[in-house]
Amino acid sequence: MSEHHSPEEIQKHQKTFWTVGGILFVLTILTVAVAYFHLPLAAAVLVALLVASLKGGLVAGIFMHLIAERKVIYQLLILTIVFFIVLMALPILTEGNSVGRNVQPPARDMYLEGHEGGHGEVHGEDHGGEEAHADEGGSEEESH
Amino acid sequence: MSSDIEIPHVVEPHPVTGLSNAKLGIWLFLSSEVMLFGAFFSSLILLRIGATNWPHGPAVLNVPLAFFNTLFLILSSVTVLQAWMSLQAGNKKQSQTYLWVTIGLATLFIVLKSFEYSTKFSHGIYPGTNTFYAIYFTMTGLHALHVIGGIVVFAYFALFGHKMHETEPERYAGRIEVSGLYWHFVDLVWIFLFPTLYLL
């Protein structure tokens, strides 16, 4: 979109950008409103991510003019998306224990050396317990 | 630029890529940024699914502040586009105005963010408080640094960089366009940060 535009085209683009900005405003209000419906977690995550993806799509497609770009940028972004998917898949693989199980036993043995047994046994999994009481400390804070 | 060495393809497209080097450069940078923020989002998912207890965003974070910050960023994305479009229309004065509005909105974002952080600190909440706040401060802090980076770039153009428009108007418009692309990315990251941290 770095080529020259006629004044009519420029006006049209300017109008489009304001309209898309308005749609993003409305979608933001929708996201916040849905959060106060107290949907079940899975449904809340689904709705929040769907709306965020729609908003993200508008920003990337219209604002960053990806709807009509050069081939090189698409190729670059496809490569980025592939690696991004791998990044996002890591937690799923870890949760499925296909990553964690392979690396944990030797790491745990090393950690336990010189210690009495049991303390570091689930070194990679016990952080949830630590935060459980710490979270409660913050939950009543800040209502304004 | 007073340099004698001419940088090739700053305005006209490179024959191989079909893009100016500036635009290819910003997209390469944004790709690396996707991976940077992607790593943090991945960490957030990992921490959350591994935690036995995770707070509901609205119960512990200030949603109204974050909501207004979202609106400021969206609006600033539109104004930076208008700054670029005004240059295409040959109206530099209007472009400068939009640039200053963008800087103003970005500064408002940082002001609200500092209110948010200072309230947390005054309640004794720090990144070390628990895993949730560790990832909250890390991700919002990294994002805020990007916003500050954007403010610095736009302020440079608004104060000094705009002089390039007198000698090389197309190159200057290209600079506004690529810095705008960076700014939309910062907006895009916030669009995902806001619901995942504050609303879920």
Assembly ipTM:
0.90
Cβ separation of B129 and A137 shorter than 8 Å? Answer: yes
B77: which chain A residues are within 8 Å (Cβ-Cβ)? 21, 59, 63
Query: What number of C-beta contacts closer than 8 Å exist between A and B?
Result: 185
Give B40-46's long-range contacts (Cβ < 8 A, gap of 24+): B40/B135, B40/B138, B40/B139, B40/B142, B41/A87, B41/A88, B41/B139, B41/B192, B41/B196, B42/A87, B42/A88, B42/A90, B42/A91, B43/B135, B44/B135, B44/B139, B44/B196, B44/B197, B45/A88, B45/A91, B46/A90, B46/A91, B46/A94, B46/A95
B126: which chain A residues are within 8 Å (Cβ-Cβ)? none
* Cα angle for residues B61, B67, B68 (degrees, 5° grid): 120
Mutate to test the interface with B, among A15, A34, A38, A55 (most CBs of B within 10 A): A55
Q: pLDDT class for A70, splitting at 50, 70, 90?
A: confident
How would you classify residue A65: left for phi > 0, otherwise alpha for psi between -120 and 50, otherwise beta? left
Q: pLDDT class for A95, splitting at 50, 70, 90?
A: low
**Average pLDDT value for residue range A120-140:** 43
A132: which chain B residues are within 8 Å (Cβ-Cβ)? 51-53
Cβ separation of B85 and A130 shorter than 8 Å? Answer: no
pLDDT value at residue A97:
60
Comparison of pLDDT for A139 and A71, the residue scoring more: A71
B83: which chain A residues are within 8 Å (Cβ-Cβ)? none
Comparison of pLDDT for B180 and A102, the residue scoring more: B180
Residues of chain B with pLDDT under 70: 1-4
Report the half-sphere exposure of A23 (CA within 13 A, side-chain side). 16
**Shortest CA gap B77–chain A (Å):** 8
Residue A96: pLDDT over 90: no
Instruction: State pLDDT tens for residues A17-26.
Output: 999 999 999 9
Comparison of pLDDT for A129 and B77, the residue scoring more: B77
pLDDT value at residue B3:
55
- Average pLDDT over chain A reads 74
pLDDT value at residue A140:
42
Question: Under a CB-based contact definition with an 8 Å cutoff, are residues B16 and B24 in contact?
Answer: no
Comparison of pLDDT for A109 and A48, the residue scoring more: A48
Cβ separation of B23 and A2 shorter than 8 Å? Answer: yes
**Shortest CA gap A119–chain B (Å):** 19
Nearest residue in A to B134, CA atom: A131
Residue A129: pLDDT over 90: no
Cα distance between residue B86 and residue A10, in whole Å: 8
Cβ separation of A35 and B41 shorter than 8 Å? Answer: no
Q: pLDDT class for A40, splitting at 50, 70, 90?
A: confident
Question: Under a CB-based contact definition with an 8 Å cutoff, are residues B71 and B112 in contact?
Answer: no
B75: which chain A residues are within 8 Å (Cβ-Cβ)? 21
Tokens of B68: 């207004």
Mutate to test the interface with A, among B47, B75, B79, B188 (most CBs of A within 10 A): B188
pLDDT value at residue A103:
46
Q: pLDDT class for A6, splitting at 50, 70, 90?
A: confident
Q: How many CB atoms lie within 10 A of CB B111?
A: 12
